[in-house]
Amino acid sequence: MTDMLNKTLFVFKDKFIRSKIVFILFAFFIFRLFASVPLPIVDQGALQKFFSDNQFLGMINLFSGGGLEALSIVMFGVMPYITASIIMQLMSFSYPKLKKMQQEEGEIGRKKIGNYSRLLSVPLAAIQAFGFLHLLNSYQLLENFDSNVMMTSITVAVAGSIFLMWVGELISEFGIGNGLSLMIFAGIVSSFPGRLRQLWENLSNDISVLPAYLGIGALFLFMIYAIVYVTEASRPVPVHNARTARAGEKAQNIQSFIPIKLNQAGVIPIIFASVLISLPQVVVSILQLGKVETWSWLQSLVDVSSNPSANLMYSIYYGIAFFILVFFFTFFYTAVTFDPKKMAENLQKGGTFVPGVRPGEETEEFFAKVTTRVTFVGALFLSSVAVIPFVVSGLTGNPNLAIGGTSILIVVSVGIDLIRKIDAQISVRQYLNS
């Protein structure tokens, strides 16, 4: 407790770290300011009711930071860039040129792929804006809507997404942590007061739901504890460094450990899975397939999927699909970020080896095997925790619980990562000041 207090005081005293945190808070303020400026073409009351009855749109609104529900000038937040990143990551595994760029060019290759993701996010933002505005217009939620208003609204939505993408990158450069993750974090946290107010109103109207709410609250507290525990857990791999001895001295064998984290992907699999599971509903809404008699069954499926808690069986199927996607993306993102071959090469160059394992290919196979086993446990846990709220929402008939579970996963994971990086900054500054 004393150590935490000392670090907190150091943050306020150190000008370098304090300036980074102030910059993050300023960026959050700008984000929330823009998210509260709506387009003047919609009935806000009818739009909020439309969102409350649709779990699918609630999930998208979650990542937009509430901007979509208000139809603000930054209505999609950083979602277009997230979608573009998913597409580029998938293409980097299937397209030889991108795969070579990512594996052989290192940091330069990753920067090029990042630039491609930024360029791709522009047409994706336009497509998403067109589809969403077309969907709202089909439900007669837009006022004085014509082709000129459509083009203006799409232009504003695209510009808003690009602006927030730029703000997120500024946070990564001048602040602390991953800027895009922090933007999503800020959007989710900003919705907590409204949800607490709604919870209080529900309790005031019907006190009999208090035991159920206490049980759900205990479940979410357990989820927070479990997420923190698994996020901090790692499998230490012992390594030895044979230091060359000078004349008259004995050779030294220095032992250390390389930690292989259970969940190396962090919150990225949850975000990727949430975006991907919503794509079929977006496509059906944009193409208006439900109006074609041949595809009417598909529209019926989308209507149910927009609120899976209304159907327990469908909630189970929805949860299974979400489980599989989170599990897949945990392995996928770990494979992208952790390269056993590069790890083996770096250890060999530094004269470091794993006891009982030969340098080179055997070390590469060893790290690949250990990473696969550790990631399997982490992916299984993350997927299980991700689907618990869907099961609870199916049993209780409350769609907000599923969204609330995803919120907790993202907020806790991003919060832990931010605290860890602030702690690292404190250690560096204390070392430089000593």
Mean predicted confidence (pLDDT) in 132-155: 81
pLDDT tens-digit series, residues 10-68: 778 888 888 888 999 999 999 888 888 888 777 777 777 777 666 666 667 766 766 77
Work out the pLDDT band at 303, boundaries 50, 70, 90: low
pLDDT at 272 over 50: yes
How far apart are the C-alpha atoms of 274 and 264, rounded to whole Å? 18
- Of these ranges, 155-159, 221-225, 341-345, 364-368, the one predicted with the greatest mean pLDDT is 155-159
- Please state, in angstroms and rounded to a whole number, the distance separating the CA atoms of residues 163 and 80: 12
* pLDDT over 90, % of the chain: 4
Lowest mean pLDDT segment, chosen from 3-12, 59-68, 213-222: 59-68
- Please state the rounded mean pLDDT for residues 100-125: 79
pLDDT tens-digit map of 351-379: 788 888 888 888 888 888 888 888 898 88
Q: What is the pLDDT of residues 243-256, one digit of tens each?
A: 544 444 555 556 67
CATH class of residue range 1-203 = mainly alpha
Amino acid (1-letter code) at residue 139:
Y
265 and 334 Cβ atoms separated by less than 8 Å: yes
pLDDT (0 to 100) of residue 297:
47
pLDDT(310) > 70: no
**Residue 163's pLDDT is what?**
92
pLDDT of residue 290: 46
> Residue 337's Cα: distance from chain center in Å?
15
Say what the pLDDT of residue 298 is: 52
The radius of gyration of the chain's CA atoms, rounded to the nearest angstrom, is 24
Segment 313-324 shows an average pLDDT of: 73
Does 304 have pLDDT greater than 70? Answer: no
- Rounded to whole angstroms, how far apart are CA atoms 134 and 136? 6
Q: Which residues pair with 242 in a beta bridge?
A: 253
Mean pLDDT, the chain, rounded, equals 77
Query: What's the whole-number mean pLDDT along residues 170-191?
Result: 84
Dump pLDDT digits (tens) for 237-246. Answer: 888 876 544 4
| Structure tokens, 50 | 């439309």
Domain ranges of the chain: 1-203, 206-398
CATH architecture of 206-398: Orthogonal Bundle (1.10)
Question: Would you say the CATH fold of 206-398 matches that of 1-203?
Answer: yes
Confidence of residue 311 (pLDDT cuts 50, 70, 90): low
Is the predicted pLDDT of residue 432 greater than 60, yes or no? yes
